[in-house]
Structure 1
Amino acid sequence: MKVRDIAHARAGDKGDVSNLSLIAYRIDDFALLERHVTAERVQAHFAGIVHGGVQRYSLPGLGALNFVMHGALGGGVTRSLALDAHGKSLSSALLDIDIDIDLD
């Protein structure tokens, strides 16, 4: 399944940092997100786009994960030559990660 099957995303950006949040539709699916959507996996998913570190913050009371991605916006939204490469586009791409539920 895709992450988008069990969660939605929100995004924000400031300078060259993209801040993405995944929020489970159902609190019961939060553990699945937490187990499979790691900082390392997000960094690998955005290889070639994110040139700095990725930090993950867990918000279990909200059923959410927050990812702070440094060096993700080509110097910043107003400096980047990329077309629409800011947080909203990245949050949509984050929802495209595959989760293999057979491993659970």
Structure 2
Amino acid sequence: MKLKEIAHSRTGDKGNISVISVIAYDPADYAFLEEKITAERVSSWFGELVHGEVTRYEIPSIAALNFELKAALGGGVTRSLALDMHGKSLGSALLEMEV
């Protein structure tokens, strides 16, 4: 199944860092997400799009994982001519991952 079947996402940005939250629809699925969606897997999923470190933060109180993707926005919002300067589509792309 795809990640989007059990979770939704929210994204944000700060400079050249993209932040993606993955939130379980059902808190009972949080442990599964925690096991399957590692920082290494997210880094591999995005491949060459992310040029820096991927860090995962766990937020069990709201059944969410928060990922910080460094060097992921082509220099940052004010320095990039990329179509998706804020990285908003990265959350949707992550939800396509098979879990």
Could you say whether these structures have the same fold, taking a TM-score greater than 0.5 normalized by the shorter chain as the test? Answer: yes
Which residue of 2 is the match for residue 24 of structure 1? 24
Match of 1:102 in 2: none
Tell me the residue number matched to 1:61: 61
TM-score between both structures, scaled by the size of structure 2? 0.96
Q: Where has structure 1 moved over 2 Å in runs of 4 or more?
A: none
CA contact (8 A) 2:53 2:70 kept: yes
Deviates most, 16-25 or 74-83: 74-83
Q: Percent identity?
A: 59
Structure 2 match to 1:70 = 70
* Structure 1 stretch displaced more, 3-12 or 73-82: 73-82
Contact (CA 8 Å) 1:12, 1:19: kept in 2 or not?
A: yes
CA distance in 2, matches of 1:78, 1:51: 18
2:51 equivalent to 1:51: yes
Deviation at 1:87, TM superposition (A): 2.6
Aligned length, in residue pairs: 99
Is the aligned partner of 1:83 residue 2:86? no
1: distance between equivalents of 2:72 and 2:30? Answer: 25
Contact 1:30–1:64 (Cα < 8 Å) also in 2: yes
Query: What are the ranges of 5 or more consecutive residues in structure 1 without an aligned counterpart?
Result: 100-104
Q: Distance in 1 between matches of 2:52 and 2:45?
A: 13
By how many angstroms is 1:81 displaced? 2.3
1:8 is aligned to 8
CA distance in 2, matches of 1:68, 1:35: 18
Gaps in structure 2 of 5+ consecutive residues: none
CA distance in structure 1 between the partners assigned to 2:98 and 2:86 by the alignment: 22
CA positional deviation for 1:85: 4.5
Q: Secondary structure at the match of 1:74?
A: coil
Q: How much is the aligned-residue C-alpha RMSD, in angstroms?
A: 0.9
Alpha-carbon separation, structure 2, partners of 1:81 and 1:4: 29
